[in-house]
Structure 1
């Protein structure tokens, strides 16, 4: 079996000038920083209790362990920002942010999930209080972020088991109240949509070429879109994100070509585990062809992001998720699909393979799912149900 790394063209360039500014903060307690650093750099006015003996070696080891305990600190950063936004809206004193009381976190969870509409009893008394409603699951992640922040800053976890039970009781009630107005699940990306993307994108343009490669690989590789993109240009890290060196071409036992993407940090992988995504030839929408075209249009170093593009100054930039999805959605809406597609490539790829009667076990293994249950990875089963169920009585 032959494995060849993705070809790249060595280039000489000066490092791009980038900005280190993040979200603007009005307090010295919350300095501008990446979302991944907020739980470590954002602080409270109260000094935490000692957690180790007063020895510089032990304190240094504790600090190293503290920073190495979490993998996805970016999502915690988002939850922590939402918590401080809540505190600003309701004028919570800085001294009450850290450590946070049960009453404060219970209130935060209620506000995060509430989705008052005109005519609701809540809306009649809220006045100008802003709401940014999220699902109950996301609200629980927000609470996990605040918990991680407390521990990282040297405090005990703020909520006990009985506190969680009380908060879950309230969240379940709000979920029941809002259940009738839930938004429908986003539909999967389909082959027709992929064809529309390819027909619209200019495949000689670096930005468009990168988006097409991301779309094709995410669909046929059943990948989360976050695995082919970054949250921001500053967030790219070779140890966490795909680079050109993480891509290999080879031939299987039937001499059929394939590509392998070695994800250094996948959501469904254990810590330190490299998860491989295998891509095969797929006709006119072939992901292998998109990778070859990307290497031609956007020549880069092996340490550069796999899904990257070149700006007008010639700098290589990783593709940010929001930029790619805005372009993809604008195209799909122009073609008549008037809705937002965000995490639909993975689900679309699974739907496609199952519609082609690929064994569910193969889809499960290839997509690195934890369960074989269809509802785990099929939102639109009606689109493929006939492939599995129709004419069963005639067999």
Structure 2
């Protein structure tokens, strides 16, 4: 860390918030009561993310035997693991639902094992058509991606083509109302101010909670880039640590800022990204929040997570997603504010910047969006649009408007 360690404080109040509980690995769940999946030696009962490692087929067994004449077991295992690691664990659990539904459908229709891999375009499109009007298009896309991954793992050709594409488009037109989730509400400035009023910033845990919340809000960050998952060990190659480069500085105009390097992000992967937090004159300044956290939690070691907090003298605890949301929800509920989810910090941060008149291209840069995908995060659109329209200058020509749009497109590439 580039920041010099602050001097030790005479006394640091003990944290009153309960420490996160590290739970033991859970055993496989019992099979769903309404599942129609038939027992098969190719599909043992395992937890969802393990299906890709454990489930096979008649084709894959024969294919692996043939490939054994080309490469030894170790090389084949390396290939398998490398392909599997291309998908994030959370996404893998989502994809595995498609694998389950596909085989349930094949069991119901008495599809032979030999036809399930490689699956024909006819079978794949029939499977998707079965769920038309029952699930959303994104659900079908995830299921299809899971099936394609399963084929890739077992060196099976993928035959999904024109029929599958046509049926997938039809599914999008028949999305049932029950599958359309309401838009997640954003964290608002009032949510953050409420935390500022009711958290004890001299308390080690509360100071870390507030700093992490302001960091995620002002930095338009995903919580997974800021705090530690409850059931996974801290990984400094994936989560930001106290040893990550942190710079406090001022720009030529005298504006204070903090720059922090994230080692990994969802979109950039191991390339990471730089988060720049600008000081604010209001009561939710991210620079001050970070300084307070570093001051109160001064004895947390460099190899700990960035928002780790002192649980008791000589020991620390990671700031987990569950602890952060639990503490925030407790305060918000007591003060009549809406309950929000983790991704709502990113949504709310982008919305707040837009409401303050920050150009959309700058908002996209702050949130590290590389495409127009950030536009889906707009909330309070009925307030945002009049704000920008009211500021529009008279006499804008079509040529200047076109040039502005072209600039934005270039910035978002």
Normalising by the residue count of structure 2, what TM-score does the alignment of the two structures yield?
A: 0.70
For residue 308 of structure 1, report the CA deviation from its aligned partner.
3.2
The answer as to 2:55 corresponding to 1:43 is yes
Find the residue that maps to 1:188 and give its secondary structure: coil
Q: CA deviation at 1:276?
A: 0.8
Aligned partners of 1:206 and 1:309 also within 8 Å: yes
2-structure distance, mates of 1:43, 1:62: 16
1:160 to partner: Cα distance:
1.3
Alignment of 1:191-270 (within 5 A): 191-234=189-232, 236-254=234-252, 256-269=255-268
C-alpha displacement of 1:277: 0.7
Cα gap change, 1:139 to 1:209, in 2 (>3 Å)? farther
Aligned twin of 2:375: 375
Q: 1:231: how far off? A: 4.0
Match of 2:15 in 1: none
Q: Partners in 2 of 1:322 and 1:136 — Cα distance?
A: 30
1:326-349 per-residue CA deviation (whole Å, 9 max, x = no partner) reads: 443343333323454442222222
* Aligned-residue CA RMSD (Å): 4.2
Task: Report the Cα offset of residue 248 of structure 1.
Answer: 0.5
Q: Which residue of 2 aligns with 1:67?
A: 81
Superposed CA offset, 1:134-188 (max 9, x none): x422431233133223322x2425551135324404422432x438x84432232
Secondary structure class of the residue paired with 1:4:
coil
Task: Give the deviation of 1:49 after TM superposition.
Answer: 0.8
1:137-216 pair list within 5 angstroms: 137-152=138-153, 154-156=154-156, 159-175=159-175, 177-178=176-177, 182-216=180-214
Task: State the Cα distance separating 1:207 from its structure 2 match.
Answer: 4.1
Q: Relative to structure 1, is the Cα distance of residues 369 and 165 closer, same or farther in structure 2, using a 3 angstrom cutoff?
A: same
Contact 1:263 1:277 in 2 (8 A): yes
Deviation at 1:361, TM superposition (A): 2.7
CA contact (8 A) 2:224 2:321 kept: yes
Alignment CA distance shift 1:309-1:80 (3 Å)? farther
Q: Give, in whole Å, the separation in 1 of the partners of 2:91 and 2:373.
A: 29
Q: Indicate the residue corresponding to 1:360 in structure 2.
A: 360
- State the distance in 1 between where 2:92 and 2:29 align: 14
SS of the counterpart of 2:90? helix
Distance 1:263 1:336, change over 3 A: same
92-101 or 181-190, larger mean C-alpha shift = 92-101
Residue 389 of structure 2 aligns with which residue? 389
Unaligned 5+ residue runs, structure 1?
10-15, 116-132
Q: Is the 8 A contact 1:223 1:345 kept in 2?
A: yes
1:235 deviation in Å? 5.1
CA 1:56 to 1:158, structure 2 compared with 1: closer, same or farther past 3 Å?
Answer: closer
CA displacement at 1:238 relative to structure 2: 1.8
Bigger shift: residues 364-373 or 309-318: 309-318
Superposition TM-score, scaled by structure 1 size: 0.73
- How has the CA–CA distance of structure 1 residues 71 and 60 changed in structure 2, closer, same or farther, with 3 Å as cutoff? same
Deviations 1:51-87 (A, max 9, x none): 7453556x53443344334444213322244346647
Deviation at 1:220, TM superposition (A): 0.7
Instruction: Tell me the distance in 2 between the aligned counterparts of 1:7 and 1:247.
Output: 16
* 2:407 matched residue in structure 1: none
C-alpha distance in 2, partners of 1:172/1:6?
55
The size of the alignment, in residue pairs, is 362
User: Contact 1:226/1:321 (CA < 8 Å) preserved in 2?
Assistant: yes
Unaligned runs of at least 5 residues, structure 2: 9-20, 32-38, 396-413
1:281 Cα offset (Å): 1.6
Residue in 2 that maps onto 1:13? none
